[in-house]
Structure 1
Amino acid sequence: MLKLCNFRKIIFKDAIYTIILAISFLFISAIIDSISIMTPFKERYENSMQRFISSEATALIVFTIVVAAPIFEEFVFRGLIFGTMLENQMNIYLAVIIQALLFGLFHSNLYQGMFAFFIGVFSALVLYWTNSIWNSIIFHATVNSFRLIGLLFMSDKVANAENNSSIKGSIFMLIILGIALMYKPMRYFYKRKSEIRNKSKEELSPS
């Protein structure tokens, strides 16, 4: 079971580029927030989260969102489910989409589910590129951390200004910034995947 999850030791550079990828993903995900049909689902989700966060067990809730949930969800969806698909030699792209769909459905909310789907896609790719679930956990935890910060400190400002045309311009700029920021980590992971695969072949080959 643990073998499927690939708890391979990672290097510091992997973690840094994973965090950069997560931040760029958050910028690009502003597209989801800009879809008008998602607004009622988003408001419902944010209101429920605000009530959840403002409860007496704030520290426990923060720990659950930032640490426990990423570890558990990555273990189940990217480790066991995605890992089993790869073990059975399923097409990598099909495996990525299927486990991401399951991850989205698991959240049982259209807004949160759509967001979770794309988290699932990128988390699975990070695991596949680096051959370690630790990187997908870092990606997931980074996304959850920044979204939690947004809910705590920025949701009221965004809600009050969501009809302002300048907000639409800001969303567009965030998307462009996210695409530009994503280039470097994507390039790094593309090369990193080849390095890791070559190293694995060398370790398996007889001396």
Structure 2
Amino acid sequence: MKNYFKINYIESILLIVGFITLNFFNVILRKLLISISLPENMIFSISYTLPFIFLFIFISHKAQKKNLIIDLSMKLSSWYIYFIIFCMMFCMIIVNEYISSLVPKEGPVLGNMYKEIEEFLKEEIKNPIPFFSTTVLLAPICEEVLFRGIILNGMLKNKIHPIKAILFSSFLFGLTHMNPWQFVGGIIIGSFIGFIYFITSSIIDCILLHIFNNAFAIFTMFFFMRNENSIFLKKVNMNIGLILIIALIIIITGSVFLLRRKRKEKHKNKI
């Protein structure tokens, strides 16, 4: 019998506390990288990736010492499953954008925080290649391996109820983004990707969905910055209620289909 890596609530929290602590050292790390005259376009990618690398080395070392297997399934799903989950993901992005937009962007605390995020993004976009490669490629790989491949998978292997495991791992995922807008988005999008991981058990599916989400977020960010007063955006805002209803119907229908399919597969495996 295989001895899989397992994790509980407390261990998950400690892991994320360690990750957040490593990220605080990024300020020192960035200064160090600048002092050795490293090209500015590489600093963002390196400082983002290093905390993940340290954490993965630590987890891998602990697992090897206890002869535990970290089960990171790289299998691909059927084409029609991808069609369904990407349609659902697009709808989840719409729902997430609406709910996240309800978080205030003004005031002494939230207003300043939002301005700082905007300034940070404007600064990083000046170096588009490392920004896009990190946001659209490195971030989905690193974050999915940690939050779905290690934390969620470890909790499921620990016999924690799937709904509790998905919601808790998504809460931690949102928490690491360190601002209320991405915290909300982290829980919503993280819960959906966690649900897909529960259905397909494929970390590749999670990475692909995360890439799609981040690429779409960057595209819309540029579009909104350049077309703030476009007729298209005004029409979208006018019909947001109908758009949300259609999106929720697609999400619910897709979820029911995927759950039924998973139950059928379980039943076949038992026979």
TM-score range, shorter chain: 0.7 to 0.9
CA apart distance, 1:38: 4.3
Residue type of the alignment partner of 1:182: I
Partner residue of 1:37 out of 91, 104, 110: 104
Q: Answer whether contact 1:96 1:125 (CA < 8 A) is retained.
A: yes
Range that drifts further, 178-187 or 62-71:
178-187
The answer for the alignment partner of 1:24 in structure 2 is 91
Matched, 1:188 2:257: yes
Using CA pairs below 8 Å that are at least 6 residues apart, which structure has the higher relative contact order? 1
Residue type of the alignment partner of 2:240: I
The answer for the alignment partner of 1:177 in structure 2 is 246
User: Whole-Å Cα distance in 1 between the matches of residues 216 and 158 of structure 2?
Assistant: 35
The answer for the alignment partner of 2:156 in structure 1 is 86
User: Whole-Å Cα distance in 2 between the matches of residues 33 and 88 of structure 1?
Assistant: 32
The answer for the alignment partner of 1:107 in structure 2 is 177
The answer for the alignment partner of 1:71 in structure 2 is 141
Residue type of the alignment partner of 2:86: I
Output one character per residue of 1:140-163: Cα deviation in whole Å (capped at 9) or x when no partner: 1111111110012223434x58xx
In structure 1, the gaps of 5 or more residues are: 203-207
Q: Answer whether contact 2:70 2:150 (CA < 8 A) is retained.
A: no
Matched, 1:52 2:124: yes
The answer for the alignment partner of 1:141 in structure 2 is 211
In structure 2, the gaps of 5 or more residues are: 6-68
CA apart distance, 1:168: 4.4
Return the structure number with greater helix share.
1
Q: Answer whether contact 1:123 1:136 (CA < 8 A) is retained.
A: yes
Secondary structure in structure 1 of the residue aligned to 2:160: coil
Runs of 4+ deviating beyond 4 Å: 41-44, 164-168
The two structures have a TM-score, normalised by structure 2, of 0.64
Q: Answer whether contact 1:27 1:177 (CA < 8 A) is retained.
A: no
The two structures have a TM-score, normalised by structure 1, of 0.82
Which protein shows a greater Rg? Answer: 2
Over 3 Å counting, the alpha-carbon distance change for 1:180 and 1:83 in structure 2 is same
Output one character per residue of 1:73-130: Cα deviation in whole Å (capped at 9) or x when no partner: 1111001001110111011111111111110111111111211111111111001012
Quick one: percent identity of the two aligned structures?
A: 22
RMSD value over aligned CA atoms? 2.6
Residue type of the alignment partner of 2:137: V
Residue type of the alignment partner of 2:77: I
User: Whole-Å Cα distance in 2 between the matches of residues 201 and 3 of structure 1?
Assistant: 24
CA apart distance, 1:137: 1.6
Give aligned pairs, total.
197
